[in-house]
A = this chain, B = another copy of it.
Amino acid sequence: MPVRGLVQLFLDGEVTFEALAVRIGQREPRLHCWSELRPEDPVPDGPFQGLPYGAKDIIDAAGYRTGFGSPLYATNTAVKDAAIVTALRTRGARLMGKTQTTAFAYYDPAPTRNPHNPAHTPGGSSSGSAAAVAAGMVPLALGSQTQGSVVRPASFCGVVGLKPTHGLLPLDGVMPFAPTLDTLGLFTQTALDMRLVWQMLGHAVEAELPPAYGWIEFDTEEAMSDAVRDTVVRLGNYGISIRRVPPPESFLSLAFAVPIVNKFEGARTNERRYRDHGDAIGQKLAQLVRDGLAIPETQYREALAIIQQARHDMAEVFQTFPVILSAAAPGRAPAGLGSTGDPRCNAPWTAIGGPALTIPMNVPKDTLPLGLQMSAAAGQEAALLTAAAHCQALLTAQADLDLG
């Protein structure tokens, strides 16, 4: 685990743009993180000091292609920047290129491979963004999460992924999928890096550490359950209070409600594409359109009501536990590139709308990464980022002890 992430190293002048470009040249042919690269793009002024970043290929950048991860859109060039691209440029960040996404940000996989083991998926849908940051190609990348498309690949790739509060980052110029859930997200190597980026984006980051953390246990694979329990112990050793939280009934019901909303809305945003191109939009997405169009509107309304109830119930839980820990994925990155993994640990947090992020846990040498998910109430990014940076520092210190 890096103590100082690439954002910090770049801002300190210890890693140059040229060094990152060389690293991309070395690693890209094996990993396929990028759908477009423009290392020659101009360097803007601002607090980011020309920091290079990647943007998931469903986000428009003027003059760049927006390919949606589909060969059907190979020549779809964007006319104007997405609002987030403008925001980053005016603050001095430099667009290195567009990163590979699963087709239309659904489950038909991207060609990207996991930098920790190229025989495994990096997760998705923000596959290229997670892998590019994990491979040290760029300090920062943009993704998007409708169910678990930021936090899950970040967990699989051993980086920090932040899905901020729903609606907080602007979605103008970003391909919609299921608007009730769609949220822009960010990838960095460390939580401190993420906090720094969040601050440079103009948000407050000062906050107190929570007096106690909640912990919701999902049904996960053994490696993940063990790692979360081990992490709870490690953090406990530093005097951090962590209490198991019985999730409200409405929160548990999200396991059924979120997929309904995702399919109902996703089918409608992709219906035209499906009518034009059929299964060529991707077999899994085509199936979603067929399934989603068959969902009765009453069922969709019920699902939305469950989400409303869960938001209300979880707001109360966050009163006692401002930050809640959970597994960031059901387990390690699956073998092969056929499946990008299961979003079931992330989708409930996406639905309740508050920020969620993942930090890598301490895992045995030569095993794939596992992420600890940390979630907070809507608008509480400052508390979440501060807590995450604190926890990651403690876990990193322990990793040094493990090795020593």
Residues of A whose CB lies within 8 Å of any CB of B are: 21-22, 24-26, 28-30, 32, 34-40, 63-65, 67, 70-72, 74-75, 77, 97-98, 103, 108-109, 111, 118-119, 276-284, 286, 336-338
**Contact assessment for A278 and B74 in the assembled complex, using a CB-CB cutoff below 8 Å:** no
**Contact assessment for B279 and A21 in the assembled complex, using a CB-CB cutoff below 8 Å:** yes
Nearest CB to that of A29 among chain B residues? Answer: B108
Give chain B nearest CB distance to A86 CB in angstroms.
19
**Contact assessment for B71 and A35 in the assembled complex, using a CB-CB cutoff below 8 Å:** yes
A358 to B34, CA, bound (A): 34
Q: Which residues of B contact A98 (CB under 8 A)?
A: 71, 74
Nearest CB to that of A21 among chain B residues? Answer: B280
A283 to B65, CA, bound (A): 24
**Contact assessment for A40 and B277 in the assembled complex, using a CB-CB cutoff below 8 Å:** yes
A65 to B22, CA, bound (A): 26
**Could you list some 14 contacts between A and B, CB below 8 A?**
A21-B279, A21-B280, A25-B277, A25-B286, A28-B71, A29-B284, A38-B72, A39-B277, A40-B277, A64-B75, A71-B98, A74-B98, A75-B77, A111-B111
**Contact assessment for B108 and A37 in the assembled complex, using a CB-CB cutoff below 8 Å:** no
**Contact assessment for B28 and A278 in the assembled complex, using a CB-CB cutoff below 8 Å:** no
Q: Which residues of B contact A37 (CB under 8 A)?
A: 70-72, 74, 280
A105 to B282, CA, bound (A): 27
Q: Which residues of B contact A35 (CB under 8 A)?
A: 71, 74
Q: Which residues of B contact A284 (CB under 8 A)?
A: 29
**Contact assessment for B111 and A25 in the assembled complex, using a CB-CB cutoff below 8 Å:** no
Nearest CB to that of A106 among chain B residues? Answer: B29
- Counting chain B CB atoms within 10 Å of each CB, the highest count among A24, A71, A279, A281 belongs to A71
Q: Which of B22, B72, B97, B109 contacts A278 (CB 8 A)?
A: B22
Q: Which of B39, B279, B282, B337 contacts A280 (CB 8 A)?
A: B39
Give chain B nearest CB distance to A16 CB in angstroms.
13
**Contact assessment for B71 and A282 in the assembled complex, using a CB-CB cutoff below 8 Å:** no
